[in-house]
Amino acid sequence: MALKLPLYGGAAGAGMPSLKEGLVAAWLLQDASPADSWGQHTLTPSGGPTGAEGPGGQLPRATHFNPANSQYFLLPDTADLRGADITFCLCAWARRDGAPGADVRIAGKYLTTGNQREYSLFDQQSTKRHAFIVSANGTVTGGNRTIVVASSTVSNEVWELVWAMHDAEANVIGVAVNDGDFATAAHSAGVFGGSGDFAIGAGSNPHQFYNGRIAGVHFWRGRIPDAQERAFMYNGGTPRAYPFKEAA
């Protein structure tokens, strides 16, 4: 099983500070801000992503990505976000404008040039579902690549909280939507630690640009938020985000 830290048992209104354990970055993406609200991982925008209305709650604003303008955020390769045979988890609120004609990327380190693929949370065009892919050696050959798809299809112009994880102890990867359970697939070979950039709104090349809005991207290393923590963040569709307090 993945590392599970104790849930916070403090006074009402204190929120859930256990979500700060293992947190590496929190990009709230309010009005296209590239800032990391938790750490030191400031993003670099490209193509001019713009501010837009967000999902509400603690994420009143978001960033809109227009694929016609090749809009995305990029962060140079860093060990904090690099793949390995470790447990990690990322999440993002996403609202797609319309059904794409190809796969589109939400967030990850997925550089196809030079076989530097690591992991990517994306919308899979063929299944019309959110999906998560990892590579054990940077390629997509043989058994080195594993993909898992969500149990429900993506609805256009609807905000969803999408989760992706790699559990290095249970040897599975998973994807979940809102406060639902993870759909999982077996994967025992770890995740490649490549040299590609971390990207939001595109693959690392960059390629496969997202068409819609993204907000509240969080990344944890060494742990996976449990069901109660994920439900706290989803909050019935009224988002909670870093610093994980109850009040909207």
Question: Per residue in 143-159, pLDDT tens?
Answer: 899 999 999 999 999 99
| Residue 142 in this model has a pLDDT that exceeds 70 | yes
- The CA distance from 193 to 131, in Å, is 20
Q: Region 199-221: what's the mean pLDDT? A: 98
Residue 167, domain CATH: 2.60.120.200
Q: Is the pLDDT of residue 51 over 80?
A: yes
Q: Does residue 132 belong to any structural domain of this protein?
A: yes
Domain assignment of residue 200, yes or no: yes
Mean local confidence (pLDDT), 224-245: 97
Residue 240 has pLDDT above 70, yes or no: yes
Residue 95 lies in a domain: yes
What residues make up the domain containing 152?
A: 33-226
Report the domain count for the chain: 1
What is the pLDDT confidence band of residue 13, given thresholds at 50, 70 and 90? low
CB count within 10 Å of CB 188 equals: 12
Task: Report d(CA 98, CA 95) in Å as an integer.
Answer: 9
Render 162-225 in DSSP notation, one character per residue.
EEEEEETTTTEEEEEETTPPPEEEE--S-----SPPEEESSBTTTBS---EEEEEEEEEES---
Closest C-alpha to 41, from 3, 69, 82: 82
Instruction: Tell me, yes or no, whether 115 lies in a domain.
Output: yes
Cα separation, 66 vs 50, in Å, equals 9
Question: With pLDDT > 90 as the criterion, what percentage of the chain qualifies?
Answer: 90
Per residue in 74-124, pLDDT (tens digit) is 999 999 999 999 999 999 999 999 988 999 999 999 999 999 999 999 999
Quick one: pLDDT at residue 246? Answer: 86
Beta-strand pair 172-177/50-56: unpaired
Q: Residue 11: inside a domain, yes or no?
A: no
pLDDT of residue 87: 98
Decide if pLDDT at 235 tops 60: yes
Residue 218 has pLDDT above 50, yes or no: yes
pLDDT of residue 7: 38
Q: Is residue 234 situated within a structural domain?
A: no
Above 70 in pLDDT, residue 8?
A: no
pLDDT at 121: 98
Summary mean pLDDT of the chain: 93
Q: Assess if residue 244 is contained within a domain.
A: no
β-pairing verdict for 160-167 and 59-65: unpaired
Residue 165 has pLDDT above 70, yes or no: yes
Residue 159 lies in a domain: yes
Distance between CA 147 and CA 131 in Å, rounded? 7
Mean pLDDT of 213-242: 98
Mean pLDDT (whole number) for 53-58? 98
Q: Is the pLDDT of residue 19 over 80?
A: yes
Q: How confident is the model at residue 11 (pLDDT cuts 50, 70, 90)?
A: very low
Report the alpha-carbon distance of residue 58 to residue 238 in Å, rounded: 8
